[in-house]
Amino acid sequence: MKKYVFGADLGGTTVKLGFFTTEGKLLNNWEIPTDKSDGGSHIIADIAASIDGFLFGSGIPKDEVEGIGLDVPGAVSKDGLVLTGVNIGWEGTKDAAGELSALTGLAVACANDANAAALGEQWMGSGKDTDSLLMVTLGTGVGAGVIIGGRIVAGAHGSAGEVGHTALFPELTEKCGCGNSGCFEQVCSASGMVKKAEAYQKDGCFAGIPMEEVTPLAIYKAMERKLPEAEAVWASYTEDLGRGLAVFASVLDPDIIIIGGGISHAGEALLSPVRESYRKHVFYPAKDTPIVPAMLGNNAGIYGSARMVLNR
């Protein structure tokens, strides 16, 4: 095992870069813009240039570096091929790892960003010392990653862990972004919570808040002020989220379930009713599976990407 490893978290706006010891200590981190022009064809070269520049500037020889982990916002096969990277302009199957390796002369591993975040939490976050976990990130959408035996489960088509698109609400007729309807994400994302509030709309307002200002944070604050509509939305949301986690845990039975994303900042106000709903719906051997908040925040991706290289 060499001394150092890089993690690169490729997002739609920036690429986050992290320089770690192979024991998992983050020594430096920085960002570069994601250049989506020309079908995203400059992105890999930009990452290579930034890493090469960092190594040159710091005087660290490449033979002390184990490699680079790269996560991307798209489906990645279990062999590390990017199958879809629509948000960053890539089309068709792309060997991003091979390209980055050719440019830098370093070993490169590649995975989906939600899967990398889950691996990061398992390496140095809330899932430290566990063998398996499910991490669910509640944001504009619902992302998730599955770790079993300390490794990412990518799936046959790179879509393992896509719990956001499980058809848990067949009674819904509205279309999801994925083209189906009734997806978990339609109900348990930030916009899903806002949609629940819309049902309580009165004179263009929800709990006294103009509809265009209704966000999960506004609903949370109104719930804390014990406004009944907000309490009802919060109860319905946490019930649905807990049931979803119970379904996933009855399939996977992970050591731990980690919740990340903006909504998770509500802390125990979220997790406590979610655990109650989870216990009600999950198969009994898994009733006490811990449901905990994520620890690494926006750095989970660089941690997990770095870890991927060590997992090769």
User: Which residues form the interface with a copy of itself (CB under 8 A)?
Assistant: 75, 78, 83-84, 131-132, 146, 148-149, 153-163, 165-168, 170, 178-180, 182, 243, 246-248, 250-255, 280-286, 289
What does the DSSP 8-state code read for residue 176? P
For residue 201, what are its two tokens? Answer: 């709309």
The smaller minimum CB distance to a copy of itself, of residues 77 and 191, is found at 77
Min. distance of Cβ 151 from a copy of itself in angstroms?
8
DSSP string, 81-107: -B--BGGGTB-S-B-HHHHHHHHHSS-
DSSP string, 119-173: HHHHHHSTTTT-S-EEEEEESSSEEEEEEETTEE---TTS-TT-GGG----TT--
Min. distance of Cβ 27 from a copy of itself in angstroms?
33
The smaller minimum CB distance to a copy of itself, of residues 16 and 275, is found at 275
For residue 165, what are its two tokens? Answer: 């698109």
The smaller minimum CB distance to a copy of itself, of residues 14 and 140, is found at 140
The smaller minimum CB distance to a copy of itself, of residues 257 and 294, is found at 257
Closest Cα to residue 71, out of 51, 37, 47?
A: 47
Q: Which residues contact 284 (CB under 8 A, 6 or more apart)?
A: none
Min. distance of Cβ 166 from a copy of itself in angstroms?
4
Q: What whole-number distance in Å separates Cα of residue 173 and Cα of residue 180?
A: 9
The smaller minimum CB distance to a copy of itself, of residues 16 and 243, is found at 243
Min. distance of Cβ 216 from a copy of itself in angstroms?
22
Closest Cα to residue 68, out of 5, 20, 119, 14?
A: 5
Min. distance of Cβ 80 from a copy of itself in angstroms?
15
Q: What whole-number distance in Å separates Cα of residue 287 and Cα of residue 281?
A: 9
The smaller minimum CB distance to a copy of itself, of residues 160 and 193, is found at 160
Min. distance of Cβ 175 from a copy of itself in angstroms?
12
